[in-house]
Each structure stands twice: as C-alpha cells, then as structure tokens.
Amino acid sequence: MLLSHRKKFLFIHIAKTGGTSVRSALQKYRWRDPYYAPIWLASKLSGMANHELAIKLPRHSKAIAAKEMLPREFYESLFKFAFVRNPWDLQVSSYHHIRRERPQLMRPNESFAEFLYRKFDPDREWQYHLDTSITPQSNYLVDLNGDLIVDFIGHYETLQQDFDHCCKTIGIPRIELPHKRKAGDRLAYREYYTPETQALIEKVFARDIELLGYSF
C-alpha cells in the first residue's frame, strides 16, 4: 500500500499484479510528501516492536484497513486504485514464484496440478501462509459488506494503459513503467491447465471472475 498526502492517492498493492513496477514508478512522490519523515519513522518503530504497535499499513494491506484507520473525510478524498490479474494466470505466477523463491515449501518435482490441489485442499494440514495469492483479489477492494471502496481497478493485462489513466487522474506526468520482476521462466498460462484444474480455479475464485470480468 502506498499513500501520498500531497498527491492524494492510495495505491492498494495486490501481489503479483505488476504492483512492484507501480510502486517503483510512484515512489518519488512518496519521498517528496511532507509526511514522509514521520511515516518512515513510524515504519521503523513498528519493525523494532515486532509490528505490535499497529502503526504501519503493510505493503499488501487491503483497502478496508486504510478505510478503518484513516479519517473518513481523508479516505474519501483520496484517489484509491489497484491492479488485478486473471486468476488462472495469477496461480501460474504463484507456482513459479514459490518454486523459485521458496523451494522448501514445494514437494520434490511437484507439478502445477499437485500444487493447486494441495494449496486449495480445505483439509490441508500445512498452510500456504507465505503465498498471498490464496486470497481472492476482490477481498482487497471491498468493505465488510462486499461493496467496492476503491475508485479505479486497473488490469495487469493492460498495465501501462491503465497506469497512464491513474497518472492523469493523480495529476502527474505519464511514467513509463519499469519492468520489475519480469518473469521469463514460464509458458502461456493456459498451457498449465487441465479441464479439472481450470474448473478448480473457477470455483475458488468465482467472486473475482464475476467482479473483475475475467474468463479463462
């Protein structure tokens, strides 16, 4: 999550949706914010206290967290936006990320299908607690009643185009997004799926598919 008092925007960072590139592009506006110093200090204090002081909005906080913590008028005055990704594609990204960055969480030679069935098994003993893609993307964008509380939802598939819209709305020059964490270790996401695993993701992320307008 990235908040700018000066430019009046709140970026909700959903993992594996191009958010690292967006954060990198907008970071300089955070540095120039008059509240940057106290925000930085609060972040450091939170870390020193093992994050038990509740004074920091984590990188992947949901919009509802900001709405509950910020004054109502201030929250409403912000341009609140996020980027989302095709749920089937997102799970392929998750599989490769864990296999590359946290191989100790994978079983030997675990296939993509085995990964999905274990990940979404309601009776699993071990939780994929380090993988935020187990959480529906829509959960980051709604309040406790399920109503949208953000102003704009961009898409990973049209990342630059939608980010251009955000820049225009915020009132900053167009920024060419850097290619942060660009993956080159995978096939097209449809190649990973069988009819059964395709249906599994359709069931688990039905709300995302409906709300965000995605299809396989």
Domain boundaries, the chain: 2-212
DSSP conformation letters of 123-148 = T-SS--TT-GGGS-GGGGTB-TTS-B
For domain 2-212, the CATH architecture is 3-Layer(aba) Sandwich (3.40)
Q: Do the Cβ atoms of 158 and 151 come closer than 8 Å?
A: no
Give the Å distances, CA to CA, from 187 to 23, 89, 184, 192, 207: 26, 10, 9, 8, 26
pLDDT at 158: 96
Q: Do the Cβ atoms of 146 and 23 come closer than 8 Å?
A: no
Q: Which residues pair with 142 in a beta bridge?
A: 148
pLDDT at 140: 97
pLDDT tens by residue, the chain, 216 residues: 898 988 999 999 999 999 999 999 998 887 677 776 776 677 777 677 665 555 667 778 999 999 998 999 999 999 999 999 999 999 999 999 888 888 888 889 999 999 999 989 888 766 555 577 889 999 999 999 999 999 999 999 999 999 999 999 999 999 999 876 566 668 899 999 999 999 999 999 999 999 999 999
Give the Å distances, CA to CA, from 55 to 44, 51, 89, 142: 10, 8, 34, 22
pLDDT at 26: 92
pLDDT at 132: 77
- The Cα–Cα gap between 115 and 18 comes to 23
pLDDT at 9: 95
Q: Which helix (H) or strand (E) holds 24?
A: helix 19-31
* pTM exceeds cut of 0.85: yes
pLDDT at 75: 94
